[in-house]
Amino acid sequence: MRVLVIEDERGLAAAIARGLAEEGFVADVAYDGVDGLWSAVHESHDAIVLDLMLPRMSGYEVLKRLRAASVWTPVLILTAKDGEYDEADALDLGADDYLSKPFSYVVLVAHLRALLRRGAPARPAVLTAGDLDLDPARRRCHRGGQEITLTAREFTLLEFLLRHPDEVVSKTDILEHVWEENFDGDTNIVEVYVGYVRRKIDAPFGRRTIETVRGAGYRLRGTGR
Ligand code: CA
C-alpha cells in the first residue's frame, strides 16, 4: 500500500513516513501543496495524508483540485485543533476522514487501514434540473451543455437549491446553509446572490428556474424551466 504524505513540518512528515514504513506501507512525502498535488495527480497512491496548513497551496485547495481532476484517492486530513478549519469543514471539503493533531501513529495507521478497506469514495452525483446540471465534485455547471462560470458562493447557493428541488426554501434557510454559521448579516445578501445566479443560469437562456415565492423565499423548479 502506497501512501502520499503532504506535510510541511519536516520532522512530523519524516516521523509519519517512518511510522508508516514500520507498518508495511510505502510512504511518499511532499512538503508543500503544489508538489503534493502534482504527486497525487500523477502518481498512484492508495491513500493520501494531507495537512491543511501548507506552503504554496493550502490543503483545502489541494483537495478541491484533486477532486476536480477526478482523483478519488481516499484523503485523511490532519487538522490542527486551533487551526483555521475544523473537522466538519474537513469532511465538507471532500475528505474521507480526519485526525486532529497531535495524534499517535497507532491511531493514524488504524484510520488509514479503515480508509483502505472502504476504498475510493463514490463520486458525488451530478445534480440536475432539466438541462441545467451542476457537478459538485468537478465544481462545474452547465445549461444545455454550455458551461456557466459561478463564484464559490454562487455555486454553493445553486447547489443548495438543487438539493431541494420544488421546495420553498426561506432566505434564512439559505443563509444558514450557504453562508458561514456565524454570519450575522442581513438576509438581503441572499436576494443579491439569487440575483447573480439568475443572471447566469436563467436570464441568458430565457428561463425562470429560481422562482420567488413572495413572503416565503425561493423555489427551484425541478424541471429547470
Ligand atoms: Ca502545516
Residue 148's CB is within 10 A of a number of other CB atoms, namely 19
Give me the domains of the chain, ranges plus CATH numbers. 2-118 (3.40.50.2300), 127-220 (1.10.10.10)
Give me ligand 1 centre to Cα 64, in Å: 17
Distance (angstroms) between ligand 1 centre and the Cα of 215 equals: 47
pLDDT at 32 over 90: yes
pLDDT attached to residue 33: 96
- Cα angle value 95/11/108 (rounded, 5°): 40
Model pLDDT, residue 89: 66
Q: Residue holding cell 519536516?
A: 10
Residue 27 CA to ligand 1 centre (angstroms): 18
Say which amino acid occupies 219: R
- pTM here is 0.56
Per-residue confidence (pLDDT) for residue 176, from 0 to 100:
79
CB atoms near residue 103 (< 10 Å) = 14
Cis preceding linkage at 74, omega within 30: no
| 202 pLDDT tier (thresholds 50, 70, 90) | very high
| Cβ within 8 Å of residue 123, ≥6 positions away | 70, 72, 137
Output the pLDDT for position 225. Answer: 81
Beta-carbon neighbours within 5 Å of ion ligand 1: 8, 51, 53
Per the model's pLDDT, the better-predicted residue between 32 and 176 turns out to be 32
Task: Compute the distance from residue 51 Cα to the ligand 1 centre, in Å.
Answer: 6
Query: pLDDT tens digit string along 155-169?
Result: 989 998 998 899 999
Give residues with Cβ within 8 angstroms of 129, minimum separation 6: 162, 165, 209, 220, 221, 222, 223, 224
The model's confidence at residue 106, banded by pLDDT at 50, 70 and 90, is: confident
- CB of 218 within 8 A of CB of 168? yes
